[in-house]
Chain A
Amino acid sequence: MSQLTAGRNVRGRFSKFTKDYAIVVAILLLMVVFTFASDYFLTYRNIRNILMQTVSVAIVCIGQAIIVTTGEFDLSLGQNVCLTSAVMAYLIKFAGFNPWIAILCAILVGAMVGMSNGLLIAYAGIPCFIVTLGFQMIARGAAKIITNASPIAGMPEQIKWIGRGFIGGNEYGFPISVLIMLGLFLLFMFITLRTKFGRSLYAIGGNKEAAYFAGINVKAHRAVIYTIAGALCGISAVILVTRLDSAALTNGNLYEFDAIIACILGGISLAGGRGKIIQAFFGAIFLMLFFNGMTMLNVNPFVQDVLKGVVMIGAVALDVVRNRRR
């Protein structure tokens, strides 16, 4: 009997592993396909480029993944990136702030937008859909006011390395922004999987009421994760602005949806309580590879938009089927 259960367990764990990381297999498949389709694809330069382009959205993914773990989502993240980009660039170019102070302010503004979301959702009990949709518009409007709807370009040299710098030389070096992203993923993997805070988040995602009856401060936790996601938007904006050397209204556009899609593709359950944020990382990489490859193969960009929708619905359908089997 015990052997029987042990056998079932090993198989159970294996099938769980393949299910959780099916996205890694998908990434490898995609890479093989693109490698055959284009000589340029599997070069260090191209892979490095793809990674650097992924950084900003991937950092937003961390916040989104944490929120999705509790069974909710945040639609304001993309425009929060846009707003914090504008704040940072404005403070540097027009208010004469020290760039580092400006960066700090951008992150703070991001956190404050997130906190406003979180307080309204957790304490006033307004659904996350409504609150975050509202803040999507508020943040976009505020960004327009700050930038007067035209890009603010030309960042000082002393901070450009954040988005553009390499460790070990420009030719073959490793991008600093990617290192920052990996560091953040490691940090938040640790927080979600190894701390009391993280443990409580999974409990809340699994069953808010039971979490409450276990003495977890459900409201405070919910408010805090939106704040964290907001601060991450600020960090994402810093990297984006220094990489693009400009804060434009297109910064961060649709990141919130890309992040949700990345979570789903990675296999994080939208119902909450399951999944690891590293899965969202793989989801984001998959998305980037997919569209980088499409562009490389000269697929019409309008068709790419259509495909994005198809991929998203397909991934949700997968999630639904998976949950049904459970």
Chain B
Amino acid sequence: MADNILELKNITKVFPGVKALDKVSVSIQRGTVHALVGENGAGKSTLIKVLAGIYHSEEGEVFLDGVKVDLRTPYESQQKGISVVHQELKMSETLSVAENVFLGNLMYKGRIVDWKGMRQRASEMLRELGVPMDVTVAVERLSVAQKQMVEICKAINRNCKVLIMDEPSATLTEKEQSLMFNTIRKLKENGVTIIYISHRMEEIFDLSDHVSVLRDGAHIATLPVANVTRDELVSMMVGRAVAHDYPRSAKALGEVVLEARGIKRKGVLNDISFQLRRGEVLGVAGLVGAGRTELARAVLGIDRIDAGEILLHGKPVKIDSFRKAIGLGLSLVPEDRKSQGLVQIATVSRNICMVNMDAVSHGFVMDAARERQVSQEYVEKMDISTPNVETEAQYLSGGNQQKVVIAKWLLEDSEIVILDEPTRGIDVGAKSEIHRLIVDLAEKGKSILMISSELPEIVGMSDRVMVIHEGNLVGEFKRGEATPEKIMALCI
């Protein structure tokens, strides 16, 4: 029997409408680097948050050093020796390095805070990690890499036995990365167990001893890295054959409706050009942060672009605000349904009629009866499950909320519909209904730009797939050519 420092048994975490973790059981060996991989939304972050005491799992047990532990708050997790270096670092920016390292865990000399001792100790620890720095500097003046080191120091200072790192390399330069890898190796030598989350295959093979794959909230496999190839890992991540039948029928596409030429936004988008045809579903694949949402925002006039041109029906247009984009027949089903897509405390009917108020008003005055009637039509046509149109949107399930967001743009009759993660956090049944809606739109001659992290969805739905990586357009596949594996290989 292996010497396991951490054992997770049957961890299940449910969010409204979606099972984020489904009976996940993983064992982590003491003193190893254990990689955790999976697509966006596979459940990695949720799992970490359970270990960090931020989320509470509905089911399942966590054993630390063979003892069952109850992780109810981040403080408890830390006390028990589990520390997390989050992707978005949460530090007291205005305090010094030394103060951050000892935050909540001050050293005392008698009853007086021992600043000198803490500065010395912090400085020593950083030197041991191979990153000497001035510990009196305020954290806000450090680079991301340095901040991560301070976070690691803080964890060590709390006697952490298990250090969880959530995509630490995502924002580092190459030189910083190799420095950090050295640090990780040093930590390992000192007996710290590391759980390492990354999308980058090279790192995983370089650094880790074991790797666990998560997919759709389920644990797929845990293997020694030596026993697995890169391709096997990718196919485990995307795994499933297309989960359900996508209702897409190949049709001849119409003329070019939207064309983007050389869209540039400094540090975000680098010279991206594409065409979107009438009746086409154009999928946009890529990792979170690759620039997919940013591309949509740039096209829609939400973010300013530094260079490039947008053409509608072959004519150049200047889109400098989202309102103007709407006027030109574009629309957006935003990524974050709860905070961007809907006014939660407004009724279903008001949400549906929020964009095209003209359709339900006479001049300035709203026609309440017409508003209800129109909303009722959409509720029936799109099979939105709600007690009635006067119910507040917040009481609907995720899938039905998303239908309400789409209904807004159906009422507006937008020619080009941009959907950003249209089925994220939506259960399987509602998902296929949304897919059906998207296909209907395309068949009615609308043009669809669909951003999605879910590869089977992208492959199943799209006539064409664009792959974006670090702000660049790195590949394009026709329908039939695209496979999850090929796309994933370009994403990472």
Interface residues of A (CB under 8 A from B): 5, 8-9, 194-200, 202-203, 206-207, 209-217, 273-274
Bound-state CA distance A215–B405 (Å) is 13
Q: Report whether B346 and A203 are in contact in the complex, using a CB–CB cutoff of 8 Å.
A: yes
Q: Report whether A213 and B346 are in contact in the complex, using a CB–CB cutoff of 8 Å.
A: no
User: Is B357 on the interface with A (CB-CB < 8 A)?
Assistant: yes
> B20 CB to closest chain A CB, in angstroms?
24
Query: In the complex, what residues of A have CB within 8 A of residue B387's CB?
Result: 5, 8-9
- Known A206-B346, A213-B334; contact A199-B357, beta-carbon cutoff 8 A: yes
> A190 CB to closest chain B CB, in angstroms?
8
Q: Report whether B345 and A274 are in contact in the complex, using a CB–CB cutoff of 8 Å.
A: yes
Query: In the complex, what residues of A have CB within 8 A of residue B322's CB?
Result: 212-213, 215
User: Is B340 on the interface with A (CB-CB < 8 A)?
Assistant: yes
Nearest-CB residue, chain B, relative to A206 = B343
Beyond A8-B387, A206-B343, A210-B340, 6 additional contacts (C-beta under 8 Å) are: A5-B388, A202-B343, A202-B346, A211-B354, A213-B340, A215-B323
Bound-state CA distance A8–B354 (Å) is 27
Which A-B residue pairs are the 5 nearest by beta carbons? A206-B343, A214-B354, A215-B326, A207-B343, A196-B357
Q: Mark B315-353, 1 if CB is under 8 A from A, else 0.
A: 000000011001000001010000111111110001001
Can you list 27 residue pairs at the A/B interface with Cβ under 8 Å?
A9-B387, A194-B365, A194-B368, A195-B365, A195-B366, A196-B364, A196-B365, A199-B350, A199-B357, A200-B357, A203-B343, A203-B346, A203-B350, A206-B343, A206-B344, A206-B346, A207-B342, A207-B345, A210-B340, A210-B342, A212-B322, A213-B340, A213-B341, A215-B326, A216-B354, A217-B323, A273-B346
Bound-state CA distance A200–B323 (Å) is 14
Interface residues of B (CB under 8 A from A): 322-323, 326, 332, 334, 339-346, 350, 353-355, 357-358, 361, 364-366, 368, 387-388, 408
- Which one of A194, A211, A273 lies within 8 Å of B366 (CB-CB)? A194
Q: Report whether A196 and B366 are in contact in the complex, using a CB–CB cutoff of 8 Å.
A: yes
Q: Report whether B388 and A9 are in contact in the complex, using a CB–CB cutoff of 8 Å.
A: yes
Bound-state CA distance A120–B177 (Å) is 44
Bound-state CA distance A194–B408 (Å) is 20
> A38 CB to closest chain B CB, in angstroms?
42
> A293 CB to closest chain B CB, in angstroms?
36
Query: In the complex, what residues of B have CB within 8 A of residue A206's CB?
Result: 343-346
Nearest-CB residue, chain B, relative to A274 = B345
Nearest-CB residue, chain B, relative to A193 = B366
> B449 CB to closest chain A CB, in angstroms?
16
Q: Identify which of B326, B341, B343, B350 gathers the most chain A CB atoms within 10 Å of its CB.
A: B343
Q: Report whether A273 and B326 are in contact in the complex, using a CB–CB cutoff of 8 Å.
A: no
> B406 CB to closest chain A CB, in angstroms?
13
Query: In the complex, what residues of A have CB within 8 A of residue B408's CB?
Result: 214
Q: Report whether B366 and A199 are in contact in the complex, using a CB–CB cutoff of 8 Å.
A: yes
> A66 CB to closest chain B CB, in angstroms?
16
> A305 CB to closest chain B CB, in angstroms?
35
Query: In the complex, what residues of A have CB within 8 A of residue B341's CB?
Result: 210, 213
Query: In the complex, what residues of B have CB within 8 A of residue A202's CB?
Result: 343, 346, 350
Query: In the complex, what residues of A have CB within 8 A of residue B388's CB?
Result: 5, 9
Nearest-CB residue, chain A, relative to B390 = A9
Query: In the complex, what residues of B have CB within 8 A of residue A199's CB?
Result: 350, 353-354, 357, 366
Query: In the complex, what residues of A have CB within 8 A of residue B355's CB?
Result: 214-215
Query: In the complex, what residues of B have CB within 8 A of residue A207's CB?
Result: 339, 342-345
Bound-state CA distance A213–B406 (Å) is 12
Q: Report whether B339 and A210 are in contact in the complex, using a CB–CB cutoff of 8 Å.
A: yes
Bound-state CA distance A131–B366 (Å) is 33
Bound-state CA distance A203–B322 (Å) is 17
Q: Report whether A211 and B343 are in contact in the complex, using a CB–CB cutoff of 8 Å.
A: yes
Query: In the complex, what residues of A have CB within 8 A of residue B366's CB?
Result: 194-196, 198-199
Bound-state CA distance A216–B408 (Å) is 13
Bound-state CA distance A209–B340 (Å) is 5
Query: In the complex, what residues of A have CB within 8 A of residue B358's CB?
Result: 196
> A3 CB to closest chain B CB, in angstroms?
12
Bound-state CA distance A152–B365 (Å) is 43
Bound-state CA distance A215–B323 (Å) is 5
Bound-state CA distance A195–B355 (Å) is 14
Bound-state CA distance A84–B344 (Å) is 39
> A266 CB to closest chain B CB, in angstroms?
18
Nearest-CB residue, chain A, relative to B331 = A215
Bound-state CA distance A270–B355 (Å) is 25
- Known A212-B322, A214-B354, A216-B354; contact A197-B364, beta-carbon cutoff 8 A: yes
Query: In the complex, what residues of A have CB within 8 A of residue B332's CB?
Result: 213
Query: In the complex, what residues of B have CB within 8 A of residue A212's CB?
Result: 322
Query: In the complex, what residues of A have CB within 8 A of residue B344's CB?
Result: 206-207
Q: Report whether B343 and A210 are in contact in the complex, using a CB–CB cutoff of 8 Å.
A: yes
> B17 CB to closest chain A CB, in angstroms?
19
Q: Identify which of A196, A198, A211 gathers the most chain B CB atoms within 10 Å of its CB.
A: A196
> B46 CB to closest chain A CB, in angstroms?
24
Q: Identify which of A199, A209, A213, A273 gathers the most chain B CB atoms within 10 Å of its CB.
A: A213
Query: In the complex, what residues of A have CB within 8 A of residue B345's CB?
Result: 206-207, 273-274
Nearest-CB residue, chain B, relative to A197 = B364
> A19 CB to closest chain B CB, in angstroms?
14
Query: In the complex, what residues of B have CB within 8 A of residue A213's CB?
Result: 322, 332, 334, 340-341
Bound-state CA distance A9–B387 (Å) is 9
Nearest-CB residue, chain A, relative to B358 = A196
Query: In the complex, what residues of B have CB within 8 A of residue A198's CB?
Result: 366
Q: Identify which of B340, B354, B365, B408 gathers the most chain A CB atoms within 10 Å of its CB.
A: B354
Nearest-CB residue, chain B, relative to A271 = B345
Bound-state CA distance A259–B488 (Å) is 58
> B292 CB to closest chain A CB, in angstroms?
17
Bound-state CA distance A182–B343 (Å) is 31
Bound-state CA distance A196–B361 (Å) is 8
Bound-state CA distance A167–B42 (Å) is 73
Bound-state CA distance A92–B357 (Å) is 45
Query: In the complex, what residues of A have CB within 8 A of residue B350's CB?
Result: 199, 202-203
Bound-state CA distance A5–B385 (Å) is 13
> A291 CB to closest chain B CB, in angstroms?
33
> A260 CB to closest chain B CB, in angstroms?
20
Query: In the complex, what residues of A have CB within 8 A of residue B342's CB?
Result: 207, 210
Query: In the complex, what residues of B have CB within 8 A of residue A217's CB?
Result: 323
Bound-state CA distance A195–B365 (Å) is 4
Bound-state CA distance A84–B341 (Å) is 42
Query: In the complex, what residues of A have CB within 8 A of residue B368's CB?
Result: 194
